[in-house]
């Protein structure tokens, strides 16, 4: 049973560019959440997707957008990249029916903006 998989694992982008990160949830999970973890910090909640809709959003600008597909996989898009967007981006999946009591994380995508 595959866990949460994220791609790519590492990415280098130039300031001003756009980036798309991908996440496949654990089999059977229907909820996907995205987090940004800056170096030495705890993860910061970006948003959560359930039934292809954004259900909750953290304190992130509109440059951060996402999508969830019918197979529950998800994408995180960041436009007009800033140097401060450099971070580890984590995806977590859970099962809404179980109250999301256990969330599984992927290995993350390390984004470097130069």
Partner 1 sequence: AQKITQTQPGMFVQEKEAVTLDCTYDTSDPSYGLFWYKQPSSGEMIFLIYQGSYDQQNATEGRYSLNFQKARKSANLVISASQLGDSAMYFCAMREGPGGYQKVTFGTGTKLQVIP
Q: Where on the chain is the footprint of partner 1 (CB under 8 A)?
A: 31, 33, 35, 41-45, 48, 50-51, 55-56, 58, 88, 90, 92, 96, 99-108, 110
Mark residue 28 as left, alpha or beta (left: phi above 0; alpha: psi -120 to 50; beta: remaining).
Answer: left
Closest CB to partner 1 among residues 44, 65: 44
CB 34 within 8 A of CB 89: yes
Closest CB to partner 1 among residues 14, 70: 70
Closest CB to partner 1 among residues 18, 41: 41
Q: Kindly state the DSSP code that residue 26 receives in the 8-state scheme.
A: P
């Amino acid at each position: 049973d595959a866990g949460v998989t994220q791609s790519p694992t590492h990415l280098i982008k130039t300031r001003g560019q756009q980036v798309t990160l991908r996440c496949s949830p654990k089999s059977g999970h229907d909820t996907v959440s995205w987090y940004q973890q800056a170096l030495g910090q705890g993860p910061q909640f970006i948003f959560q997707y359930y039934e292809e809709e954004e259900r909750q959003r953290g304190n992130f600008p509109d440059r951060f957008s996402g999508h969830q597909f019918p197979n529950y996989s998800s994408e995180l898009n960041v436009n007009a990249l800033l140097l401060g967007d450099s971070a580890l981006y984590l995806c977590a999946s859970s099962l809404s029916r179980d109250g999301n009591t256990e969330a599984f994380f992927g290995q993350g995508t390390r984004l470097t903006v130069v």
